[in-house]
């Protein structure tokens, strides 16, 4: 006798429904965040050079328009710094850092859901295990002396299926979370590099 994946899911009982929902939502979040973070991590090597040329020529508005056309965290970061030119350097740096924090928070949106799923899915699976064990012992108690291995095996079957499903969903969510966190960290490093380049640009002696 062979069992399909669908039959295994049916054997898991109602616990499989929230586990399936968690798996689908986690996959959606991973794909959606991965696309956004990948776009944010793209670096135009000529961007800072053009910004430098505009600032040296005094074309502040052109520099701002270039930043807006980028439509990226890096563009918004530098745009905030350009809008603060003329103020004390510390004010410029604080404005850039605040903008950076907002951008990182936007990129990290929904990541806590993946972390929660990574921890919660195995717990749901273990809940299914406990329910299956209770059902097994209840069946044995009702059968009395006529109890057979089949009465016990049915509950254990449900318990094992939900445990495996919970662990699979949890592992998927955990890997997805760590991959996205690593990519966000990469974007943060790029933003820090751009910030330092911009501050060095402002600190260059006038020609």
Q: What is the dihedral of CA 158, 163, 168, 174, to 10 degrees?
A: 150
What's the chain's average pLDDT? 83
Q: Is the separation of the CB atoms in 67 and 44 below 8 Å?
A: no
Q: DSSP assignment, residue 205?
A: P
Predicted confidence at residue 182, as pLDDT, reads 94
Q: Is the separation of the CB atoms in 123 and 13 below 8 Å?
A: no
Q: What's the CA gap between 55 and 60, in Å, rounded? A: 6
pLDDT digits 0-9 by tens, 81-92: 888 888 888 888
Instruction: With 0.85 as the threshold, say if the pTM is over it.
Output: no
Most confident of 45-54, 130-139, 154-163: 45-54
């Amino acid at each position: 006798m062979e069992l399909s994946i669908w039959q295994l899911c049916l054997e898991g009982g109602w616990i499989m429904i929230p586990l399936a929902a968690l798996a689908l939502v986690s996959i959606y979040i991973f794909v959606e965040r991965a696309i956004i973070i990948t776009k944010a991590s793209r670096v135009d090597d000529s961007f800072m050079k053009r910004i430098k040329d505009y600032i040296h020529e005094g074309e502040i508005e052109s520099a701002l328009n270039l930043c807006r056309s980028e439509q990226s965290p890096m563009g918004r970061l530098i745009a905030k710094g350009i809008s603060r030119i003329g103020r004390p350097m510390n004010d410029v740096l604080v404005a850039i850092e605040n903008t950076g924090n907002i951008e990182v928070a936007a990129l990290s949106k929904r990541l806590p859901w993946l972390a929660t799923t990574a921890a919660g899915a195995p717990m749901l699976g273990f809940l299914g295990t406990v329910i299956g064990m209770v059902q097994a012992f209840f069946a044995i108690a009702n059968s009395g002396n006529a109890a057979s291995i089949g009465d016990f095996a049915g509950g254990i079957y449900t318990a094992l299926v939900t445990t495996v499903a919970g662990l699979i969903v949890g592992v998927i969510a955990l890997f997805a979370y760590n991959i996205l966190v690593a990519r966000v960290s990469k974007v943060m490093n790029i933003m820090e590099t751009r910030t330092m380049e911009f501050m060095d640009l402002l600190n260059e002696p006038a020609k």
